[in-house]
Amino acid sequence: MRRRIFQAMALALGLAAVAASQAQGHPDKPVRMVVPFPPGSGTDIGARILSQQLQAALGQTILVDNKPGAGGSIGAMDVVRAAPDGHTLLFASNSPAASNVALLKNMPYDPQKDLTPIAGVGESMLVLMVRADHPAKNLAEFLAYLRERPGKLSAGYGSASSQTSIALLNKLAKVNVLAVPYKGIPLAVTDTIGGVVDFTFVDLGNALPQVKGGKLRPLGVTSSKRAQLVPDWPALNETLPGFDITAWLAVFGPPNMPRATVDKLGSAIGDALKDPQLREKLAATGMQPMVMGPAQLKGFVASEVRKWVQLAKDANIEPQ
């Protein structure tokens, strides 16, 4: 009888411990944060800034794991297949989380069904950039340069935002530039500097050091208005009305994550974005905080899918 009592007590204590763990939510061991673009990309920079703050908040090591390729879809699929316990997360840009729906013919996953929204992080813009020794000194000269060489020039892209920017430039400026795909924007930057391609669209965080180093020249930002960080750089919209492309970053998890885990992670990320030092670090890369909880991010992604489908249509992009 006494043995049965002890067994019942042990079982009850065990169930109580499990319940308490579930109530607290995971993670309770190191977290792998998958970045679907190469090291040095804007997404990678944002992930490393956030992970430093989250490590302290969660009390767990966060390992940034770069899985580039297919516009971010390879890294996204890595997370879609992972256990939904909060130990594998996706630090995504709009490419794998929304834009690819409009750009890829055979999507291996549905971002609205197969990714669990956790928290928004930040938003930014891209910069049209050429080599520092390019003969065009400003946007007007550059557009004239493109129009004089129809079908003879190329531009590198490494994300949905940069791909769409090239296509929209072709349409609005009435030019014909070949778009060349890369696994990430840093690789397109390298080939622009090396003269393999003629220009590229670079996230603002990567554009700043290239300009400072004297390797690339900025000709304009893709947002509808100028960036506060670089007010002297014109918006392409000033010369090409209707040009308005911005990029954003957010954290997602695998499908079917427990609500307690989602809430714990979402709350930790939201708190991190309130920290002045983290906001300062994001601002230095040209990024503004985009604070969203799970429910708000879910609705935002749905609206972004619709937006990018229309953008792709407006830019005459055929899904590949």
Looking at the structure, do residues 255 and 179 belong to the same domain, yes or no? no
- Which pLDDT does position 318 carry in this prediction? 87
Domain boundary among 208, 238, 268: 238
Looking at the structure, do residues 218 and 265 belong to the same domain, yes or no? no
Nearest to 43 by CA among 252, 320, 200: 252
- Which pLDDT does position 273 carry in this prediction? 95
Cα–Cα distance for residue pair 228/152, rounded to 1 Å: 35
Q: Report if residue 2 sits inside a domain.
A: no
Cα–Cα distance for residue pair 103/290, rounded to 1 Å: 24
Q: Which tokens hold the place of 250?
A: 């957010």
- Which pLDDT does position 294 carry in this prediction? 97
User: Exposure of 221 by Cβ count < 10 A (0-12 exposed, 13-18 middle, 19+ buried)?
Assistant: buried
3-state secondary structure the chain: CHHHHHHHHHHHHHHHHHHHHHHHCCCCCCEEEEECCCCCCHHHHHHHHHHHHHHHHHCCCEEEEECCCHHHHHHHHHHHCCCCCCCEEEEEEHHHHHHHHHHCCCCCCCHHHHCEEEEEEEEEEEEEEEECCCCCCCHHHHHHHHHCCCCCEEEEECCHHHHHHHHHHHHHHCCCEEEEECCCHHHHHHHHHCCCCCEEEEEHHHHHHHHHCCCEEEEEECCCCCCCCCCCCCEHHHCCCCCCCEEEEEEEECCCCCHHHHHHHHHHHHHHCCCHHHHHHHHHCCCEEEEECHHHHHHHHHHHHHHHHHHHHHCCCCCC
Q: Which tokens hold the place of 120?
A: 């928004």
Q: Report if residue 62 sits inside a domain.
A: yes
Read off the amino acid at residue 258. P
Domain boundary among 211, 238, 265: 238
Q: Report if residue 143 sits inside a domain.
A: yes
Looking at the structure, do residues 22 and 115 belong to the same domain, yes or no? yes
Q: Report if residue 320 sits inside a domain.
A: no
Q: Report if residue 301 sits inside a domain.
A: yes
- Which pLDDT does position 228 carry in this prediction? 87
Domain boundary among 220, 238, 256: 238
Cα–Cα distance for residue pair 22/28, rounded to 1 Å: 11
First to last CA, the chain: 70
263, 294 in Cβ contact below 8 A?
Answer: yes
Cα–Cα distance for residue pair 284/300, rounded to 1 Å: 25
Looking at the structure, do residues 152 and 214 belong to the same domain, yes or no? yes
Cα–Cα distance for residue pair 177/237, rounded to 1 Å: 19
Looking at the structure, do residues 147 and 287 belong to the same domain, yes or no? no
Looking at the structure, do residues 58 and 98 belong to the same domain, yes or no? yes
Q: Which tokens hold the place of 78?
A: 């890595």
CATH number, domain containing residue 187:
3.40.190.10
Looking at the structure, do residues 68 and 134 belong to the same domain, yes or no? no
- Which pLDDT does position 25 carry in this prediction? 55
Looking at the structure, do residues 28 and 106 belong to the same domain, yes or no? yes
Question: Which residue range forms the structural domain that includes residue 199?
Answer: 125-238
Q: Report if residue 304 sits inside a domain.
A: yes
Compute the radius of gyration of the chain from its Cα atoms: 22
CATH number, domain containing residue 72:
3.40.190.150
Looking at the structure, do residues 141 and 231 belong to the same domain, yes or no? yes
User: Exposure of 105 by Cβ count < 10 A (0-12 exposed, 13-18 middle, 19+ buried)?
Assistant: exposed
Q: Report if residue 1 sits inside a domain.
A: no
Number of domains within the chain: 2
Looking at the structure, do residues 136 and 182 belong to the same domain, yes or no? yes
Looking at the structure, do residues 259 and 275 belong to the same domain, yes or no? yes
> For the chain (length 320 residues), average pLDDT per consecutive 10?
45 38 64 96 94 92 95 96 97 95 92 97 96 96 97 95 95 96 93 97 93 96 92 96 95 97 96 94 91 96 94 88
Cα–Cα distance for residue pair 170/177, rounded to 1 Å: 6
Looking at the structure, do residues 176 and 283 belong to the same domain, yes or no? no
- Which pLDDT does position 314 carry in this prediction? 87
Q: Which tokens hold the place of 206?
A: 């990567």
Q: Report if residue 24 sits inside a domain.
A: yes
